[in-house]
Amino acid sequence: MTASQGRIEADEAQGVPAHPRHCIDPTDLTGLILAGGRGLRMGGADKGLQPWHDQALALHVLRQLQPQVGALLINANRHLSLYRAWGAPVVSDDADLVFAGPLAGMLAGLESSSTAYLLSVPCDAPRLPGDLARRLGHGLLAQGARMAMPRVGGRLQPVFCLMEAGLRDDLRAFLQAGERKVALWAARHRLAVVEFDDPLAFENFNTPDDLQRQDHRLSP
């Protein structure tokens, strides 16, 4: 195993130990915030820019993800200057794939990153786990997988996806064949599923009502 593939540390019994046996160095990992959707359930608004606790949703996500990775990208197809103002490079879907779903954003990220791995997260999940990258990286390397996704409460969270950069060409071919579902693409490859306990960490905001909820559990 090379340094870019991970380093060897002590193992423990609970799946993802405090000092994982296999882990991906953050410098080998690019984080990608997926903010390129149409926001149809948000009334067509740019979801990543919607305010929550006086700050854009995607900016909450950026601040959660940044300490976990070596580089950051934002996938967006409109309001590009607003996203660029946050200091991370902005990448858009290919012209023939604009608004084609999260896989189009993942492809844009893979084609723009220079690291061995890419971790995609949606722009509307402001409470994503602070150890997401570490735990997914452990699962991927420990299971000899090419992709890793979290599962919470028995439900897979496919848009939170850690993937090898080498999957770039395969993803492009999948999209060019007209396919759009993340789970179907993942089924083509060895996938590590990593269990998480906190469903709130993956809860997202799809509608204006979601943003207006005064649920104390969702405070930052």
Q: 200-209, pLDDT tens digit by residue?
A: 899 887 666 6
Write phi, then psi, for 90 (nearest 5 degrees).
-110, 130
Evaluate whether 44 touches 56 at the Cβ level (below 8 Å): no
pTM: 0.85
Residue (of 220, 195, 188) closest to 14 by Cα position = 195
Identify the H or E element spanning 95. none
How far is the C-alpha of 48 from the C-alpha of 50, rounded, in Å?
6
Per-residue CA distances from 1 to 7, 57, 132, 134 (Å)? 8, 38, 22, 17
Mean pLDDT value across the chain: 85
Handedness of CA 200, 46, 65, 117 (dihedral sign): positive
Evaluate whether 117 touches 162 at the Cβ level (below 8 Å): yes
Residue (of 182, 61, 197) closest to 135 by Cα position = 197
Q: If you search the block for the tokens 């492009």, which residue do you land on?
A: 172
How far is the C-alpha of 200 from the C-alpha of 64, rounded, in Å?
14
Pick the CATH number of 3-218 from 3.40.50.300, 3.30.70.100, 3.90.550.10, 1.10.20.60: 3.90.550.10
pLDDT in tens, 21-48: 578 999 999 999 999 876 545 556 788 9
Residue (of 148, 122, 102, 99) closest to 204 by Cα position = 122
How far is the C-alpha of 210 from the C-alpha of 32, rounded, in Å?
23
Show the low-confidence residues of the chain (pLDDT under 70).
Answer: 1-21, 38-44, 206-220
Residue (of 164, 206, 154) closest to 185 by Cα position = 164
Write phi, then psi, for 149 (nearest 5 degrees).
-140, 150
State the number of CA atoms in the 13 A half-sphere of 177 facing the CB. 10
How far is the C-alpha of 123 from the C-alpha of 73, rounded, in Å?
12
pLDDT at site 21 = 56
pLDDT in tens, 170-187: 999 999 999 999 999 999
The percent of residues above 90 in pLDDT, for the chain, comes to 69
Ranges of each domain in the chain: 3-218
pLDDT at site 36 = 82
pLDDT at site 20 = 45
